[in-house]
Amino acid sequence: MAAPTVVTLHFRELEPYTETVSLLGREIEIRHFGCDDNLELMARRIAEFDGQVSAIALQDVARALRLGPERIEHKEGATLFKVATKTPVVDGGGVRGAMERWAVRLAADAQPGIWSRKRVLMAPGLNHTGLAQALEQYTEELQYADPVIFFALPAVPPVGRPETLPAAAGATLGQMADFSFRRLFPDAGTPRVPRSARPFDWADVLAGDMGAIRRYAPARLKRKIVVVEAASADDVADLTARGAAAIVTTMPPLGRELSHLSAATFEACLVALRPAGDTPLTENTYLNLMADLEWQPGIRFLQPEEAEINRFAFVIHPLSINFIHKYPPFRWTKFLPDKLVERVAATIPPLYMSRITGVQSPTTGQKVEGYLITLGGTPRELMRRDPGFVYRRLIRASRMAERYGARIMGLGAFTSVVGDAGVTVAQKADIAITSGNSLTVAATLEAAKQAVVKMGNSLDRAHEGTVMIIGATGSIGSVCSRLLAQAGPTVILVAPRPEKLIDLKRTIEAETPGARVIISTTADEYVDRADLIVTTTTALNTRIVDITKCKPGAVICDIARPPDITAEEAALRPDVLVIESGEILLPGEPDFGYDIGLPPGVAYACLAETALLAMEGRFEDYTLGRNIEIERVKEIYRLFKKHQLQLSGLRSHGHFLIDEDIAEKRKLAEEYRQHPEQLQAHLAQLKERGLLKGRVAARATGRRGPALQQARTLAAAGLGAAALAAGWLLFWRRKRS
């Protein structure tokens, strides 16, 4: 059987050429001709090929114009379709909508999250109703650039919204019915009248016609995704030079990476493949032919750094009011009452902080990229408010993360302990959620083991001793307790609620027969027995443990944020080693884009777990709720080893400890063990100097000097509230745009 032949008539100038494509198992010859922007020449060529070929496709010409629910015939275009009497003449309108809907779905399957929560600009929406409707399924932020592109109107937001489209579409099409095809389907080039860049800058996705996008979009399209019917080598080169992240073509690529055939040519090919020459050219005819297609839309990442990257997000928040004061845009808040700043900051919507780049697994080569998103609430505000208040902000943060392409989001600091520890957020978010607590447990125990070995106390020397877990019934504390009990030493569980302590004790004794478990609602009675103390509380402004009562050479692993043991308290006992939870050195060349309070490349374990899951491609809810699964802790530790993450070293109150520091503490601890009277003399000196009165007033009360407090009048507070709210609102809008 001879290959059917179709002709594509391009409205623009074009040197004639012929190509052969394979579609549905058949070879099709496609002959291309240019018509030099001349409708009369196009009409003559239609008449010339009428009855000589299977179908004629008209490129950059349309019989009708469609915008939203409205349709109107183009006055000049309609006459072209009356010229031929034997051969079907098509413009792509019969297949474009269905193929665009299908392509959007297939692209979402092939690249999960590619459309999720993105800001979409239809550039233009004219004759792309199917594309707009498909993308609306993935986002609530879709606008039309048609007023900007076709009428050069200023981009006063909103440019055009789906809800206003029905009212405006009819009048708009009425104006466009007389437009030339060159104006309706422009080529790439420099416009005579520049268009506003604002809607293009706002968007994450530019969807519509390649010519219009190349002609009217601004010179920089950094990190944007372009969705069009087809793309030439020149199109790809231009978008790449302008910084676009990716291009998606909605017509079948037919053996190529990207489609090079327009909807008009594709429709003509389907016409040529009809079961019979008299089969009507209806939507059902096309659908039955398309149903036999096995294809994927063309997707090409244009920038090397954008290809094959797994993305994650991580939520942080200020650990104290000082974090807000120190952040450059809000330094002025230090002149306002702290309580006012703290209360207002907590109500601010989530903010984008920075992008984490340069993280790559040395084992698999997988690149990951992260986004830091912050809430405004301090721990005190997050714990004071109803969990629903925090949930709403975290769910909003998850939607921001989706827009950035993240497929998993980690909950940092107090966001992982509020309410049900991430369960509700995971149920309502469309991306995976983890608290990061599995790796926090693994890193904590690894850091504690290293510290105990370096200090050489009873746990290391005799492989026996006593471990105390404060906050033992919490999500992290309970699994730490269960794992430490398996290591052999006596375990002291400390938590405020007796009934939970009893349940945990029974669980441990059932899991680990022979385990020695002691429970207590306070730490003071047993603190002098502990060789290792792990604090996992969420208490604020409360003394958790009296360090002066600790055993010589004890190790305190403080994983609470804010820390349970202050630097001032730690200084009271130079023989006791106070360390933070194990921080993680991420592989590659990490750049956080923001100072998270750790050395370059070092992340908190909860953040590292989120990055590690992205590295492994495990986009699933991982660590949630109060009951951390021991198997998850062991699994994340295996992944930790697989991707060659490392503990960053032992840290104490923001400073790395060198071996000489620890050796000095170990030596002093040994002296205190052999000569207890020296320790007593040291404590007596502290008492004489008035240093054994608990935490300093600033930490206990959170208050400043009385003179400063009195100087803050009610009027200043009122003005400050207005200024703070306005400042935050302006900053949030700038970050969001």
Query: What CATH number has the domain spanning 96-260+291-306?
Result: 3.40.50
Query: How many whole angstroms separate alpha carbon 407 and alpha carbon 401?
Result: 8
Domain map of the chain by residue range? Answer: 96-260+291-306, 439-585+650-697
546 DSSP assignment = -
Considering the four listed CATH numbers 3.40.50.700, 3.90.1200.10, 3.40.50.720, 3.40.50.300, the one that applies to the domain covering 439-585+650-697 is: 3.40.50.720
Structure tokens at 78: 């309609």
Convert the pLDDT of each residue in 152-186 to its tens digit: 888 655 566 677 778 788 888 988 988 999 999 99
Closest CA to 442 of 584, 554, 261, 244: 584
Return the ∠ at Cα 414 (arms to 408 and 418), rounded to 5°.
85
Nearest to 725 by CA among 343, 338, 379, 321: 343
pLDDT of the residue at 539: 67
Contact 531, 466 (CB under 8 A): yes
Helix (H, G, I), strand (E, B) or coil at 62: coil
Q: What is the DSSP string of 239-262?
A: HHHTT--EEEE-S--TTSSS--S-
Provide the Cα torsion 236, 237, 238, 240; round to 10°.
80
Give the pLDDT of residue 179.
Answer: 93
- Host H or E run for residue 67: strand 64-67
Structure tokens at 325: 């004061």
pLDDT tens by residue, 265-282: 999 999 999 888 778 888
Report the DSSP pairing between strands 26-34 and 17-23: antiparallel
Q: How far is residue 324's CA from residue 699's CA, in Å, rounded to a whole number?
A: 17
Reference 158, options 127, 199, 120; nearest CA is 199
- Residues 300 and 257 sit within 8 Å (Cβ to Cβ): yes
Classify 58 as helix, strand or coil: strand
Which residue reads 């746990």 in tokens?
A: 459
pLDDT value of position 160: 64
Domain 439-585+650-697 in the same topology as domain 96-260+291-306? yes
d(CA 350, CA 387) in angstroms, rounded, equals 16
Which of 129, 135, 25, 9 is closest to 61 using CA atoms? 9
Q: What is the pTM of this model?
A: 0.80
- Sequential DSSP letters for 95-151: THHHHHHHHHHHHHHHSTTSSTT-EEEEET-TT-HHHHHHHHTT-SEEEE-HHHHHH
Residue whose C-alpha is closest to residue 259's, from 107, 58, 93: 107
Alpha-carbon gap, residue 674 to 690, rounded angstroms? 27
**Element (DSSP H or E) covering residue 585:** strand 584-585
* Contact status, residue 440 vs residue 464, Cβ threshold 8 Å: no
491 close to 515: Cβ distance less than 8 angstroms: yes
Structure tokens at 484: 């430490």
Asked whether 621 and 539 are in contact (CB, 8 A), the reply is: no
* pLDDT computed for residue 403 by the predictor: 94
Using an 8 Å Cβ cutoff, are 626 and 421 in contact? Answer: yes
Residues 703-736 have pLDDT tens digits of 334 433 433 433 344 434 444 444 544 444 444 4
Of 159, 124, 166, 121, the residue nearest 139 (C-alpha): 121
Strand partners, 651: 656
Q: 72 Cβ partners below 8 Å, 6+ apart?
A: 64, 65, 170, 173, 174, 176, 177
Phi, psi of 634 (to 5 degrees): -65, -40
Predicted pLDDT at 331:
87
pLDDT digits (tens, 9 = 90+) for 321-370: 988 888 888 888 889 999 999 999 999 999 999 999 999 999 999 999 99
Calculate helix-pair angle for 437-455, 659-674, nearest 10 degrees. 60
Per residue in 376-399, pLDDT (tens digit) is 999 889 988 999 999 999 999 999
| Phi, psi dihedral angles at 105 (to 5 degrees) | -65, -45
| Pair 648, 463: CB distance under 8 Å | no
How far is the C-alpha of 517 from the C-alpha of 219, rounded, in Å?
68
The separation between CA 367 and the C-alpha centre of its own chain, rounded to angstroms, equals 14
Looking up tokens 């993280």 gives 359
Q: Determine which helix (DSSP H) or strand (DSSP E) holds 390, and give its type and residue range.
A: helix 387-403
How confident is the chain (737 residues) per 10-residue block, as mean pLDDT?
89 95 94 95 96 96 92 91 95 95 96 94 95 94 92 70 78 89 93 92 96 96 96 97 97 94 96 85 88 93 86 93 86 90 92 94 96 94 91 96 95 88 93 94 91 82 79 90 87 94 95 93 92 84 84 91 86 93 91 89 94 97 91 95 93 88 94 94 89 48 37 40 46 48
pLDDT for the residue 705: 40
